[in-house]
Amino acid sequence: MSQPTLPDASLPTVFHITHWKAGSQWVRAILTQAVPQRIVEVKHDMSHITKDPIVRGGIYTPAYLTRERFVECVDMSIPQKRFLVIRDLRDMLVSWYFSMKISHGEVAGTTVSDFRRALNAMSFEDGLAHLMDNGLQDNAKIQLGWLRAGERLFRFEEMIENDQQAFKEIFDLCELDVPEARRRAIVEANSFEKQSGRKRGQEDIASHHRKGVRGDWQNHFSARTMDRFKERYGRVLIETGYETNLDW
């Protein structure tokens, strides 16, 4: 049996840093179709980064890791390109709720089943509170650690509004030698409309491509949920640039 072809080790190793429900599988799909020979297989516990030897010239997408954990595990002196994709934590929370309760496939070795059982036993409002207290803080830590380090930032909301420009910047940053026409065709083929068969804003809660718009949290947050979120994560929204104060 032939051995798999390894990436060109002279190329920079690429890390797509992000958190859950920030378009990670969308970004991975585009990078995989553009440069399949460089994509490193993902392990759900991120051990392909935290334990396995780093594949020089490989593309790690997505990497759900805080900066602190990343620096502990990755030799920062190796030639590398990194970019960070974040999303408004309020929209991330709503998207995560529907994913954990309905649309996400059951995956061995993950907490999907545990979350699903818990959410099915709760009201919608209590379910959002449960996720705020059990996991949302991990996403906030990923955002803040990398932002404070000055990482190259892409906002999910801006990416879906102008996907061609966003991915041009990502490909340029990561020095991905892909012809422009091919890159544009790949991005177009992976648009929300092409993947879901719906226009952005048309909701299907059973789909991984649920709605595809920014600000959807406003349709779901009760006054109680809003107060709880401000108390727990209001300052995170300010630091990440999604709000300027707590008056929202």
Per-residue pLDDT of the chain (248 residues; tens, 9 = 90+): 344 567 999 999 999 999 999 999 999 999 999 999 999 999 999 999 999 999 999 999 999 999 999 999 999 999 999 999 999 999 999 999 998 887 655 555 457 778 888 898 999 999 999 999 998 999 999 999 999 999 999 999 999 999 999 999 999 999 999 999 999 999 999 997 876 553 555 544 454 444 557 899 999 999 999 999 999 999 999 999 999 999 99
d(Cα 226, Cα 214) in Å, to the nearest integer?
Answer: 17
- One DSSP character per residue, 123-147 reads -HHHHHHHHHHTTHHHHHHHHHHHH
H helical segments located in the chain = 24-34, 47-50, 67-73, 89-98, 112-120, 124-133, 136-148, 156-161, 163-173, 180-189, 192-196, 223-239
Please state whether beta strands 59-63 and 13-18 pair in parallel, antiparallel, or not at all (unpaired): parallel
Contact 59, 104 (CB under 8 A): no
What gap in Å lies between CA 37 and CA 107, rounded to an integer? Answer: 25
Sign for the CA dihedral angle at 158, 86, 205, 93 comes to negative
The answer for residues whose C-beta is within 8 angstroms of residue 108's C-beta and 6 or more apart is: none
CA 131 to chain centroid: 17
What's the distance, CA 2 to chain centroid?
34
How many C-beta atoms surround the C-beta of residue 37 within 10 A?
12
Question: At the top level of CATH, which class does the domain 13-239 belong to?
Answer: alpha beta
